[in-house]
Amino acid sequence: MRNLSAPRKLRLAVLISGGGTNLQAMIDRSHAGTLDAEIVAVLSDRAGAFGLKRAEKANIPAFHVDYAKPVELKTAQRLADLADLDRRQKILKNADPAERLARLAKLVTVEHEILRTLDSFRPDYVCLAGFMRLLTPYFIGRLNAGGPRILNIHPAILPSFPGSHGYEDTFEYGCKWGGVTVHFVDEGEDTGPIIAQAVYPVWPGDDIERVRTRGLSIEYEVYSQVINWLAGGYVAIQKDPNGNTRVEITDPKYAEILARWVQKACTPRE
């Protein structure tokens, strides 16, 4: 059910690694008053990410977090039980337990720093927008303690084409429709509960760049709509009979919005 009180503007922190066009779309919509949210902080794992410049230009506090910093296993062990994390984690495939622990120690130490920064900005949600790092159950568990609070945008229709090459994989497979997914983040890679998906056609004669451009413009639309649904209280989180988390959008305009996305994706043809 929609909250009867006027929707409160959500506080968003955005994590990026690159160009940050999704971030820019959020900033633009926030300034235009069409996003029911303000971006309170931007963090990047790459010092040179253009998205950091976009944030600074919009006067949004912007931070670089250094994943290359040397890390002490002992320090990390004080932050989290690494052996327990190793049992729960689904992201590191390396067979050598010592190497996994060393990797987890590194990740947890940086994640601790990210969490400290995030805490100081009190975000309602943390939006991943092209953030190219694996997140451990330590980070996810801390943020999701009171319910799912981490969002991700993925450039394919999950569960097809997880990983970091959604557009390339869609195009190379010869799909006639591609799509984008906004989902809550859980402990797997691109496996969290799906909030919204939208599709676009792959036209005869397309190349990967045209496909990516078409897809990205839909990403901006879908991500901001999901944020507005969250702000408006239209995102119902439930458990299905098998105990899986499922999301239902309760906006009465849902069908209308989906139809608009499809129509926009199909016309005009660039």
Residue 123 CB, shortest distance to ligand GRF, in Å, is 18
Nearer to ligand GRF, 123 or 130 (CB): 130
Q: Per residue, what are the HEC states of the chain?
A: CCCCCCCCCEEEEEEECCCCHHHHHHHHHHHHCCCCEEEEEEEECCCCCHHHHHHHHCCCCEEECCCCCCCCHHHHHHHCCHHHHHHHCCCCCCCCHHHHHHHHHHHHHHHHHHHHHHHHHCCCEEEECCCCCCCCHHHHHHHCCCCCCEEEEECCCCCCCCCCCHHHHHHHHCCCEEEEEEEECCCCCCCCCEEEEEEEECCCCCCHHHHHHHHHHHHHHHHHHHHHHHHHCCEEEEECCCCCEEEEECCCCHHHHHHHHHHHHHCCCC
CB-based closest residue to ligand GRF:
130
Nearer to ligand GRF, 21 or 228 (CB): 21
Q: Which two tokens stand for residue 221?
A: 């639309």
Residue 8 CB, shortest distance to ligand GRF, in Å, is 25
| φ, ψ of residue 189 in degrees (nearest 5) | -95, 110
Residue 65 CB, shortest distance to ligand GRF, in Å, is 16
Residue 134 CB, shortest distance to ligand GRF, in Å, is 13
Nearer to ligand GRF, 100 or 149 (CB): 149
Residue 252 CB, shortest distance to ligand GRF, in Å, is 28
Q: Which two tokens stand for residue 154?
A: 């993925």
Nearer to ligand GRF, 24 or 109 (CB): 24
Contact residues for ligand GRF (CB under 6 A)? Answer: 16, 18-22, 129-130, 153-155, 216, 219
Nearer to ligand GRF, 22 or 144 (CB): 22
Nearer to ligand GRF, 20 or 148 (CB): 20
Give how far Cα 164 sits from Cα of 153, 160, 190, Å: 11, 12, 10
Q: Which two tokens stand for residue 144?
A: 């999701």
Residues annotated as catalytic (active site), given as ranges:
154
Residue 151 CB, shortest distance to ligand GRF, in Å, is 11
